[in-house]
Amino acid sequence: MDKHHPRRHDRETPTALEHPVVGDLTRPLVMRRTAYPSGHHIRPHWHTRAQFAFAVAGTMRVRSARHAWIVPPSRALWLPARTVHEIQMYGAVEMRSLYLDEGAAAAMPAVCVVLEVTPLARELIVRAAALPGDYDASGADGLLMQLLVAEIRRLPPCALDLPLPESADLMQLCERILADLSTRRPSASDAGAMQTSARTLYRRFLRETGITFARWKQQARLLESIRRLAAGVPVTTVAIDLGYESPGAFSTMFRRALGIAPRNFAAGGTVAAVQRGTT
């Protein structure tokens, strides 16, 4: 699947509720500050405006019908308007959400993506959060918001997404793997459990997700490792829990995927702007 072409499954559905944007909707940008306890879950919903959800503290796992994203501290998730999504909080989460009207969001990606938040963007977000809801859009406050939007448009993407299949049987397989990422079963065993051949499993998985089955499992472990590292779990423990042969093997995978060592990431380092490839 080409991730630059969004699927309709992530858009508004009758079973998901609209969460109205609270604020002065005559303004092109509306800022909201929220805090959630660890374990809090926000059920599937959508907004009429695009959302820039910034994790000041804590880690969020966001899911749509066809994707999952991990959003650790100092990263943000861009959500186009009317994208149905749910959020799971890991640790106490401090979130800053910026809701953009159609004009302000015009030059942003047409799909959801995790973004690296630069120091400048972070400072602008802090200042924007301090503005009154009825800020003067034609004055200095409006210029601040325009600068913030301009900086958001420049933020590099992070490879922190996981595509999900459409078929029910493949989705069940993915859920089983996600429930126990320490187990490394041969792909032939997964295919046998589905009463199909490994070749058919590979072909269907690639067609529905855009990446190979092996690459998907590696990406799933990568995202789970990021969640654990952000929570303060030691690198060695993460490596062992996720079934890697050694901490060195895990570190090699992590650095190859994100361009940064896991210890540096855990310390708040910057993820390199890399795009997920296929194998």
Torsion of CA 258, 41, 68, 262, to 10 degrees: 10
Looking at the structure, do residues 122 and 177 belong to the same domain, yes or no? no
With a cut of 50, say whether residue 271 has pLDDT above it.
no
The pLDDT assigned to 231 comes to 87
Q: How confident is the model at residue 86 (pLDDT cuts 50, 70, 90)?
A: very high
pLDDT for position 264: 86
Residues forming beta bridges with residue 54, ordered by sequence position: 76, 96
Of the candidates 126, 154, 182, which is a domain's last residue?
154
pLDDT tens digits, 161-194: 999 999 999 999 999 999 999 888 888 888 988 9
Query: How much is the pLDDT for 64?
Result: 94
**Structural domain containing residue 33:** 8-154
Average pLDDT over residues 245-268: 87
Across 107-120, average pLDDT? 94
Please give the pLDDT value at position 266: 73
Kindly tell me if the per-residue pLDDT of 84 is higher than 90.
Answer: yes
CA 267 to chain centre: 20
Buried b (16+ CB within 10 A) or exposed e, 171-180: eebbeebbee
How many structural domains are present in the chain?
2
What number is the average pLDDT over the span 256-276? 67
Enumerate residues 6+ apart whose C-beta is below 8 A from 134. 24, 27
User: Average pLDDT, stretch 226-254?
Assistant: 93
Instruction: Tell whether pTM > 0.75.
Output: yes
Q: What is the pLDDT of residue 257?
A: 86
Check residue 10 and give its pLDDT: 56
pLDDT, tens digit, 9 for 90 and up, residues 201-234: 999 999 999 999 999 999 999 999 999 998 889 9
Q: In the 8-state DSSP scheme, what is residue 45?
A: E
Between helix 213-230 and helix 168-179 the angle, nearest 10°, is: 40
Sign of torsion over alpha carbons 116, 118, 123, 124: negative
Shared domain check, 185 and 82: no
What's 246's domain CATH number?
Answer: 1.10.10.60
Of the pLDDT bands very low, low, confident and very high (cuts 50, 70, 90), residue 99 is very high
What element of type H or E holds 119? Answer: helix 119-129
Are 65 and 132 in the same domain?
yes
Sign of the dihedral defined by the CA atoms of residues 136, 141, 146, 149, in that order: negative
Query: What is the maximum span of the chain, computed from C-alpha positions, in angstroms?
Result: 65
3-state secondary structure 215-235: HHHHHHHHHHHHHHHHCCCCH
Is 41 part of any domain? yes
Rounded mean pLDDT, 266-272: 56
Same domain, 189 and 132: no
Q: Is the pLDDT of residue 20 over 50?
A: yes
Which of 123, 154, 185 corresponds to the end of one domain? Answer: 154
- The H-assigned helical ranges of 180-261 are 187-193, 198-209, 213-230, 235-241, 247-258
Domain check: are 64 and 177 in the same one? no
Rounded to 5°, the CA angle 36-163-61 comes to 10
* pLDDT in the model for residue 8: 41
* Residues 75 and 212 placed together within one structural domain of the fold: no
At 148, list the tokens.
Answer: 């913030």
**Token pair in block for residue 151:** 């900086």
pLDDT recorded at residue 275: 34
* Of 128-132, 135-139, 260-264, the least confident: 260-264
